[in-house]
Structure 1
Amino acid sequence: MQQDKHPEYRPVVFRDRAAGYAFLTRSTATSEQTIEWDDGESYPVVDVEISSESHPFYTGKARTVDSEGRVARFERRYGGRPGEGSGPTG
């Protein structure tokens, strides 16, 4: 690795304010704000809007929204669901 070409890689705290969750990891992200961590050290803190603690996919709260009736349109176009005796596969 060439010297003086890459950003500093150091411990940084990422804080998800929506979930009230923070975690310490290594990153090149920078911040003017700092936070005192559980180990007594002070680290830069980066506030994020969403993390694995608040994202619907990871929390199991994800849902599928069929706002345009795509399933009904598919069934009209292709004659129902497979295995029901209609359409090219049934």
Structure 2
Amino acid sequence: MRRGIHPEYRTVVFRDAASGATYRTRSTVATDQTIELDGETYPLVIVDISAASHPFWTGNQRVLDTAGRVERFLQRYGTRGRG
């Protein structure tokens, strides 16, 4: 690897804005905020959504009625203009 062209790879903390959950991982993301965890100071990145608050991962996902929508579309517009 060439020296001086790669970003600094370090331990950072991601905080979910919706749930407040924190995740410690390694990243190259740049930030000015810091947080103290377990007696250490880490850079802090606040994210809008993570696995702790995403509807798919929390089980709060809504299933859409796609079959009903298709049937209403066909009733309204039918097969006009085809064949």
**Number of aligned pairs?**
75
Q: Deviations over 1:9-44 (max 9, x none)?
A: 00000000211101110000111110001x200001
Task: Quote how far apart the aligned CAs of 1:66 are.
Answer: 3.3
Q: How does 1:10-25 map to 2 (within 5 A)?
A: 10-25=10-25
The match for 2:81 is: none
Task: Quote how far apart the aligned CAs of 1:57 are.
Answer: 0.8
Q: How does 1:60-79 map to 2 (within 5 A)?
A: 60-66=59-65, 69-70=69-70, 72=71
Name the TM-score, length of structure 2 as normaliser.
0.78
Unaligned 5+ residue runs, structure 2? 79-83
- Partner Cα distance (2:29, 2:57) in 1: 23
Task: Quote how far apart the aligned CAs of 1:64 are.
Answer: 2.1
Write out the 4+ residue segments of structure 1 that deviate beyond 6 Å after TM superposition. Answer: 74-77
Question: RMSD in angstroms over aligned alpha carbons?
Answer: 2.3
Q: Which has the higher contact order (CA 8 A, sep 6+)?
A: 2
Task: Quote how far apart the aligned CAs of 1:65 are.
Answer: 2.1
The match for 1:32 is: 32
- Partner Cα distance (2:42, 2:17) in 1: 17
Task: Quote how far apart the aligned CAs of 1:2 are.
Answer: 1.4
Greater fraction of residues in helix: 2
The match for 2:51 is: 52
Unaligned 5+ residue runs, structure 1? 78-90
Task: Quote how far apart the aligned CAs of 1:50 are.
Answer: 0.2
Q: Among the aligned pairs, what percent are the same residue?
A: 53
